[in-house]
Structure 1
Amino acid sequence: MTFIEELSPVWQEKWKKTGFETIMPIQEQMIPEMMAGNDILAQSPTGSGKTLAYVLPILERVNPEKPSTQAMIIAPSQELSMQIVNVLREWTEGTDITVTQLIGGANMQRQLEKLKKKPTIVVGTPGRLNELVKSKKLKMHEIRILVLDEGDQLMAREHRNVMKALIEKTQNERQLVLVSATITEEVKLVADRLMQNPTRLHVTAEDLPMQGKVTHSFIKVDERDKTDLLRRISHIEGVKGLAFVNNLDQLLMKENKLKFRDTKIVTLHSEMRKDERKKALDAFRNGEVSILIATEVAARGLDIDLVTHVIHVDVPKTIDQYLHRSGRTGRAGADGEVLTLLAYQDERHYKKFTKDLPSKPVQKIMHGGELVEGSSKTVNAKGNKK
């Protein structure tokens, strides 16, 4: 008997209508644990079905007839919280369960009006939630289920004090669930202090159904030529690439360089306004542009389908970071490519942590407007061998 059969008829019906044929491993493991009311620490790759793994038990366990906010989901970014709200709205359509989004950068007055109506579930970002709790507009003691999505980021130093303050304002018998694509030892320690005998769940990329074939490759390039190489890759037919840089300064420099060129690239970062971020994401999702450049933080938890290429513009600092970013391609049975733009100074570091990959990375060059296998000395911006 699957967990689906244990849900109320309304959710069983919705599951059928969504057309999901596969129950994901994290859903199979986490839903019964959440329904039992246990505290949970769950690690599972981005795009592996984590949102539904906590949304379904929340929908099952809240009581829409009770005029109080019973569940709260906290996410580190506006985009991720909007994505969660969209999933909730889709599932609660036609029911009495109400959902309100509480994020920074949005109209506070409007949010206060919605809060007065006692929504069943709230979804928000740490800063805005903290503001509302401090001003006594949001009452944490009513919360029965608290979910931290991308919890390792929420428990990082910048948010940790706010998060602990929010959690400590809830009642002792509340359920606390932390889900993330990566969970560090430090996060485990913090979570253990705040949780009661948590159930630990760990799903890896290998556990996921329908994994496509992923090729790992690199192209040697001078640091100064990376932006132009990205521009040229963006014109390759059929490319839908998620490109990662290690820090915001590098991203802003590339954004400035790309503004004045014929380019099919958009950027996503924390200094953009909400409407700018939405516009960039929509353009990428709709295929108007072929590459989205982001920092890891900005791209965290975003659900983007059919990414053909993950491009490491900068070599990641750790193998975990490399694998986590790379897991965005080769999903749902489709093949993918992980391409690293490799500057001379990073070669040693790159070789060290790619030696354990299942297949050896392939060297590529840009030739005739295409990425082809081939060895060369460093490729300059025009694709000529030096």
Structure 2
Amino acid sequence: MSGEWMKLGIRKRLAQQLEEEGLGEPTPVQREALPPLLAGRDVTARSGTGTGKTLAYLLPLLEKIDPARPVPQAVVISPTQELAMQIVRVAERYGKPLGIRALPLIGGASLSRQVERLKTHPQLVVGTPGRLYELVTIRKLKLHEVRAVVVDEADQVFALGSPKEVEALFGAMLRDRQIAFFSATLPGPMAEVERQWMNDPVRIDIDPKQRVAAGVDHWYVISDKRDKPDTVRRLLHALRPSSALLFLNNTNEIANWEAKLRFEGFTVETLYGDADKQKRAATLERFRSGRCRLLLATDVAARGLDIEGLPLVVQIDPALDADRYIHRAGRTGRMGKPGTVVTVITPQERFIMDKFGKQLGIGLEERVIYKGKLWEPNDPEVRGSRRGGAAGEARGGAVRKPAGEARGGAVGPKPAGNARAGTVPKSAAPSKAKLKQKRERDRDRKDKGAPRWLKSKRQGES
């Protein structure tokens, strides 16, 4: 099996290690990217998340680096700290046996400590644009012998406002350096960067239908907006995942959702884009180790995360476009493993699912939550429940009480006799008042420690 890698130009030692780790056969993007990269060509590659992009560019870099030369010879630029650390871990796994040292240089970490570690003379540097640029500016990082540079998640690097920093880094390298862009998506603005900095690049575009992992189920659940917390709770109880990554579009909503999920008894961590390196690293370590079941994140914070064996992605808010859907969905089902993506939408957002399905060539199927399980809407049992009046539960929203009960009153016949509707015999009035006071005292006791949204809900029902 190692012969497959060797045919593409990978040395026997690396090929055997890949085979020993269960990677006996290259993925499509690796088959397409390895030959031109090993030949020194500039490359622009678009391929789905979890399809082996990291090894597609790291293996050629490791093949070209001379471990006897104690200077940076290759650079990988990453949009986020976490992705940079993941790349370093892979580079160390395959580079250490070859005598190649890899060093992370990321924002949020101690600058002075990184300057000290540069004295170990790494041959491969992996970092975020801002920190790499800063170290070059203060002349602590010298790139004049760098012959190859890779921009991973290239669309995100340039979208985050880093073009000038990246171009300054390009300018500090050898004039004939090799450049490669890798990402799941490559939007139009990238074309200008290609024209300016690349020399006749090889363009690799894996079939869009292959950009979303084949072993992933794509479902959506319809819920009224006010019922989303209850819908997400019931969804998690129905699927019972060992862990799940939950996406929100608005960072300002994360703390609110964290409180709601904690109140329901879930262990939750949050991943903010502007959190410092230590907090983010500790959060991911707790999530990966299983000490935390749910991770709430935004698109930028979770970009490029590789969480081994993640079974479930829940989009509390639908992705803003198909490209973001690809990146979110790519957190599960990596390297051929199974996974599930569930998007919670309002009735008015159903068209978004239809649009993504057509753009990505995937089947986005509706599911309903009923009796603690997820069902297809046309299942006979679910259809029967709707005829029986349980439509709210089957659709995914909270089950509504009858109108009278929702207001606190009993549903039943009007008082008998000549008494007018709404009047109460005088003899019964004091006991009703006492019952109301008792209900209010009970509610106040329950409200202790509850979040404000739940208190408001209970007050509205009283």
TM, length-normalised to structure 1: 0.89
Write out per-residue CA displacement over residues 235-260 of structure 1, whole angstroms, 9 at most, x where no aligned residue. Answer: 44235433222232222432344445
- Residues 371 and 104 of structure 1: CA distance in aligned 2, closer, same or farther (over 3 Å): same
Partner amino acid, structure 2, of 1:221? S
Match in the other structure for 2:368: 364
- For the pair 1:306 / 2:301, whether they are aligned, the reply is no
- Structure 2 counterpart of 1:106: 109
Q: Which residue of 2 aligns with 1:217?
A: 219
Q: Determine if contact 2:146/2:177 at 8 Å carries over to the other structure.
A: yes
Which ranges in structure 1 are unaligned for 5 or more consecutive residues?
A: none
CA contact (8 A) 1:240 1:306 kept: no
Could you say which residue in structure 2 is the equivalent of 1:88? 91
Task: Name the residue aligned to 2:415.
Answer: none
CA gap of 1:185–1:329, structure 2 versus 1, over 3 A, is same
- What's the % identity of the aligned pairs? 37
Q: Partner of 1:4 in structure 2?
A: 6
User: Does residue 15 of structure 1 match 2:30?
Assistant: no
Mark the CA change 1:360 to 1:227 in structure 2 (over 3 Å): closer, same or farther: closer
When residues 323 and 103 of structure 1 are mapped into structure 2, their CA distance, relative to the original with a 3 A threshold, is closer
The corresponding residue for 2:185 is: 182
Aligned partner letter, 1:361 = E
CA contact (8 A) 1:98 1:119 kept: yes
Cα distance change, pair 134–198 in 1 and its aligned pair in 2 (3 A): same
Q: Which one is further off, 282-291 or 54-63?
A: 282-291
Task: Report the structure number with the largest CA radius of gyration.
Answer: 2
| C-alpha distance in 1 between matches for 2:45 and 2:38 | 15
User: Which position in structure 2 is the counterpart of 1:234?
Assistant: 236
Q: 2:204, 2:80 → 1: CA distance?
A: 24
Q: What does the per-residue CA deviation read over 1:135-184, in whole Å, with 9 as the maximum and x for residues that have no partner?
A: 01111222111111111111225111211111122221101111011100
Equivalent in 82, 103, 127 of residue 79 of structure 1: 82
Aligned CA RMSD, in angstroms, stands at 2.7
Equivalent residues of 2:76, 2:149 under 8 A apart:
yes
**CA separation of 1:176/1:220 partners in 2, compared to 1, >3 Å: closer, same or farther?**
same
My pick for the range that moved more, 183-192 or 224-233, is: 224-233
Choose 37-46 or 310-319, whichever is displaced more: 310-319
In structure 2, stretches of 5+ residues that fail to align are: 378-385, 402-462
Q: Which amino acid aligns with 2:236?
A: S
Which amino acid letter does the alignment assign opposite residue 367 of structure 2?
Answer: Q
* 2:386 is equivalent to residue 384 of structure 1: no
Higher relative contact order (CA 8 A, sep 6+): 1
1:246 aligns with 2:249: yes
Bigger CA drift: 53-62 or 354-363? 354-363
Does the aligned pair in 1 maintain the 2:52–2:335 contact within 8 Å? no
C-alpha distance in 2 between matches for 1:332 and 1:8: 23
Which residue in the other structure is 1:47 paired with? 50
Distance 1:331 1:114, change over 3 A: closer
Determine which of 341, 353, 359 is the counterpart of 2:344: 341
1:234–1:290 distance in 2 versus 1, CA, 3 Å = farther
| Shift in Å, 1:233 | 3.3
Bigger shift: residues 252-261 or 185-194: 252-261
Contact 2:79 2:153 in 1 (8 A): yes
Quickly say closer, same or farther: Cα 1:371–1:267, change in 2 above 3 A. Answer: farther
Instruction: State the number of aligned residues.
Output: 384
- Please report how far the alpha carbon of residue 358 of structure 1 lies from its aligned counterpart in structure 2 after TM superposition: 4.5
Higher fraction of helix: 2
CA contact (8 A) 2:221 2:396 kept: no
Residue 100 of structure 1, CA deviation = 1.1
Shift of 1:102: 0.6
Letter in 2 for 1:343: T
User: Is it true that 1:283 corresponds to 2:301 in the alignment?
Assistant: no
Given that 1:211 and 1:333 are in contact with CA atoms closer than 8 Å, whether structure 2 keeps it comes out as yes
**CA distance change for structure 1 residues 323 and 102 in 2, over 3 Å: closer, same or farther?**
closer
User: Who is 2:147 aligned against?
Assistant: 144
* Aligned partner letter, 2:136: V
- Residues 211 and 334 in structure 1, CA contact (< 8 A), matched pair in contact too: no
> SS of 1:119's equivalent?
coil
Tell me whether 98-107 or 270-279 shows the greater mean CA deviation: 270-279
User: How far apart are the structure 2 equivalents of 1:62 and 1:360?
Assistant: 44
- Cα deviations across residues 279-316 of structure 1 (Å, max 9, x unaligned)? 33233333444432221111211112333333221122
The CA distance in 2 between the partners of 1:369 and 1:88, in whole Å, is 44
Partner SS state of residue 98, structure 2: coil
Question: Which amino acid letter does the alignment assign opposite residue 186 of structure 1?
Answer: P
Partner of 1:31: 34
